[in-house]
């Protein structure tokens, strides 16, 4: 589905006319192209005194070959030297015209409300130095692991980050808060790579937790251009829309994708899986014997599975008073009960290999509710509950479980929404537009990475920081 207004606003004429009429000017977001570096442009790193993430963050910036800048500070210089990188020296007075593609701030050292001023002191002088399409990342400690002033201060980081996302979103800049548990300092690479890169173009205003559960394995040696090489990924609902993009993206990252869809869409499904060198299975995920049959087929044909993406989903919208019971049942069955049953069977039969990744597809409707969608929103909030309920259990088995909650994504599903609501869905986001299926797929690929073993129990919205559902 094309966004005609966005094309107009970014045309020569539109760029002149739109501001004069006070119309929105949604930025053109850059998406990832294979072979591209993680980040193109300089990164400024800063730290509140007493922070514990300088060494690991600078290590990642070194690994991705980023042009890194940092203040003239003995602790930072030492951390950079230990990370094997020579960071350029930054001071607001001497920086001249230097612009930054990313601003990364380690706020883990902030232990009380007064210390929050460190955010202001780092970001204020460079507020005009962030490039269009840039990245802003704040690193903190999960507040629930702290007490007193430190807990308060770390919780406060959310307000700062979400506001920054709203303030800079008009330039296509995204802002995220990444809480890193104590002891998980060496687990941040896959997450930093994702949020620094164009892969996260439509993800903004999110709070992510990196933990130390049993899912967090020793840092694997990864070929970051093909992190999923040798992995088998099951993607349900893979014949079109978001599922098709997920299948393509996981295949791009090296996985053998087993696409699943219902029998009437077998031809479409085969077209997708043939194109990406995957395999196709036709099943109705709600069938009584689906979990058993699927587990048996995955075992027999592929020796098991490493990544399971529960993408198949349906809407059957009706106001509650008009809703027939079968419509309630269908939505709950496909969106919630099928993922639950299939996951349980794959774990029980040990078809899911150790280090497995279970990924749910929720929706902002499951966070905020939606008129005429009591059934759908119940099922999608249930997907969040599914992540919460299983996070500790799966971590004990070395797996992770996470979900994405897409906002307005340009697909056949959203093309059917009436014009006025569709326009509101697009423009009422910090990034001023709908997302592409690939934006959901890239977020799933980050969860799926072997480098994301400590990313467990998260629900990340892929919504351009949409106001709807906020």
Ligand X SMILES: NC(=O)c1ccc[n+]([C@@H]2O[C@H](COP(=O)([O-])OP(=O)(O)OC[C@H]3O[C@@H](n4cnc5c(N)ncnc54)[C@H](O)[C@@H]3O)[C@@H](O)[C@H]2O)c1
Q: Which of 172, 211, 237, 450 binds ligand X (CB under 6 A)?
A: 237
State the first-to-last Cα distance of the chain, in angstroms, to the nearest integer.
Answer: 24
Q: Does 341 bind ligand X (CB under 6 A)?
A: no
How far is CA 20 from each of CA 11, 14, 431, 433, 456, rounded to the nearest angstrom? 14, 10, 20, 20, 47
Q: Which of 408, 427, 428, 465 binds ligand X (CB under 6 A)?
A: 408
Give the separation between CA 391 and CA 69, rounded to whole angstroms: 37
Q: Which residue has the tokens 């997302």?
A: 435
Q: Does 406 bind ligand X (CB under 6 A)?
A: yes
Q: Does 468 bind ligand X (CB under 6 A)?
A: no
- The minimum distance between CB 326 and ligand X, in angstroms, equals 14
Q: Which of 269, 252, 135 is nearest to 202 (CA)?
A: 135
Query: Nearest 5°: phi and psi at 177?
Result: -115, 125
Q: Please give the structure tokens belonging to residue 199.
A: 């892969």
Nearer to ligand X, 240 or 256 (CB): 240
438, 31 Cβ separation under 8 angstroms:
yes
- The minimum distance between CB 330 and ligand X, in angstroms, equals 8
Piece in contact with ligand X (CB under 6 A), picked from 91-99, 201-209, 401-409, 448-456 = 401-409
Nearer to ligand X, 32 or 283 (CB): 283
Piece in contact with ligand X (CB under 6 A), picked from 3-11, 77-85, 196-204, 406-414 = 406-414
User: What is the b/e burial string over 374-383, where b = at least 16 CB atoms within 10 angstroms of the residue's CB?
Assistant: bbbbbbbbbb
Piece in contact with ligand X (CB under 6 A), picked from 10-18, 38-46, 118-126, 233-241 = 233-241
59, 119 Cβ separation under 8 angstroms:
no
Q: For 124, how many CA atoms within 13 A lie in the half-sphere containing its CB?
A: 6
Q: Does 138 bind ligand X (CB under 6 A)?
A: no
Query: Nearest 5°: phi and psi at 209?
Result: -120, 130
Q: Does 447 bind ligand X (CB under 6 A)?
A: no
Would you tell me how many other CB atoms lie within 10 Å of the CB of residue 384? 17
Helix-then-strand count for the chain, H and E: 17, 14
Residues classed as catalytic: 376
- The minimum distance between CB 450 and ligand X, in angstroms, equals 25
Interaction mask 43-82, ligand X, x per CB under 6 A: ----------------------------------------
Look at strands 279-282 and 256-261 and give their pairing: parallel
Question: In the range 282-321, which residues lie near ligand X by CB under 6 A?
Answer: 284-286, 311-314
Q: Which of 56, 190, 239, 370 binds ligand X (CB under 6 A)?
A: 239
Question: In the range 345-364, which residues lie near ligand X by CB under 6 A?
Answer: 361, 363
Question: In the range 410-439, which residues lie near ligand X by CB under 6 A?
Answer: 411-414
- The minimum distance between CB 23 and ligand X, in angstroms, equals 24
Question: In the range 317-336, which residues lie near ligand X by CB under 6 A?
Answer: 334
Burial of 403 (0-12, 13-18, 19+ CB in 10 A): buried
- The minimum distance between CB 420 and ligand X, in angstroms, equals 17
Nearer to ligand X, 63 or 468 (CB): 468
- The minimum distance between CB 458 and ligand X, in angstroms, equals 16
Give the separation between CA 377 and CA 361, rounded to whole angstroms: 12
- The minimum distance between CB 267 and ligand X, in angstroms, equals 12
Give the separation between CA 142 and CA 151, rounded to whole angstroms: 8
Q: Please give the structure tokens belonging to residue 226.
A: 């093909």
Q: Which residues bind ligand X (CB under 6 A)?
A: 236-237, 239-243, 261-262, 265, 284-286, 311-314, 334, 361, 363, 406, 408-409, 411-414
């Amino acid at each position: 589905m094309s966004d005609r207004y966005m094309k107009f606003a970014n045309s020569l004429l539109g760029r002149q006319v739109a501001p004069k009429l006070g119309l929105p000017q949604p930025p053109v977001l850059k998406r990832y192209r294979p072979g591209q570096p993680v980040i193109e442009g300089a990164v400024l790193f800063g730290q509140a005194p007493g922070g514990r993430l300088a060494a690991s963050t600078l290590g990642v910036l070194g690994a991705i070959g980023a042009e890194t800048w940092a203040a003239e500070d003995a602790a930072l210089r030492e951390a950079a030297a230990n990370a094997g990188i020579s960071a350029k020296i930054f001071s607001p007075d001497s920086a001249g015209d230097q612009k930054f593609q990313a601003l990364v701030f380690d706020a883990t050292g902030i232990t009380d409300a007064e210390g929050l001023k460190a955010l202001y002191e780092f970001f204020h002088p460079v507020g005009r130095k962030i490039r269009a399409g840039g990245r802003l990342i704040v690193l903190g400690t999960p507040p629930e692991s702290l007490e007193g002033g430190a807990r308060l201060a770390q919780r406060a980081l959310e307000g700062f980050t979400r506001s920054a996302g709203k303030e800079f979103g008009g330039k296509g800049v995204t802002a995220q808060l990444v809480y890193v548990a104590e002891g998980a300092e060496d687990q941040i690479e896959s997450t930093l790579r994702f949020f620094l890169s164009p892969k996260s173009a439509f993800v903004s205003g999110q709070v992510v937790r990196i933990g130390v559960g049993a899912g967090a394995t020793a840092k694997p040696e990864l070929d970051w251009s093909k992190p999923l090489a040798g992995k088998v990924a099951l993607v349900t609902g893979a014949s079109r829309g978001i599922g098709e993009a997920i299948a393509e993206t996981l295949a791009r990252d090296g996985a053998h994708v087993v696409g699943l869809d219902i029998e009437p869409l077998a031809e479409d499904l085969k077209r997708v899986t043939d194109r990406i060198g995957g395999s196709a299975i036709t099943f109705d995920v709600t069938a009584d014997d689906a979990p058993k049959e699927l587990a048996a087929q995955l075992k027999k044909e592929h020796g098991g599975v490493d990544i399971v993406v529960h993408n198949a989903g349906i809407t059957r919208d009706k106001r509650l008073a008009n809703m027939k019971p079968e419509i309630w049942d269908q939505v709950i069955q496909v969106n919630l009960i099928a993922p639950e049953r299939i996951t349980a069977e794959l774990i029980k039969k040990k078809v899911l290999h150790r280090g497995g990744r279970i990924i749910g597809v929720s929706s902002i409707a499951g966070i905020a509710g939606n008129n005429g969608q009591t059934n759908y929103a119940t099922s999608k909030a249930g997907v969040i509950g599914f992540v919460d309920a299983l996070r500790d259990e799966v971590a004990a088995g070395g797996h992770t479980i996470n979900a994405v909650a897409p906002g307005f994504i340009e697909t056949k599903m959203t093309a059917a929404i009436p014009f006025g609501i569709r326009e509101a869905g697009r423009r009422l986001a910090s990034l001023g537009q709908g997302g592409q299926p690939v934006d959901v797929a890239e977020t799933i690929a980050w969860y799926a990475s072997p480098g994301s073993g400590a990313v467990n129990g998260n629900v990340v919205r892929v919504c351009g920081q949409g106001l709807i559902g906020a």
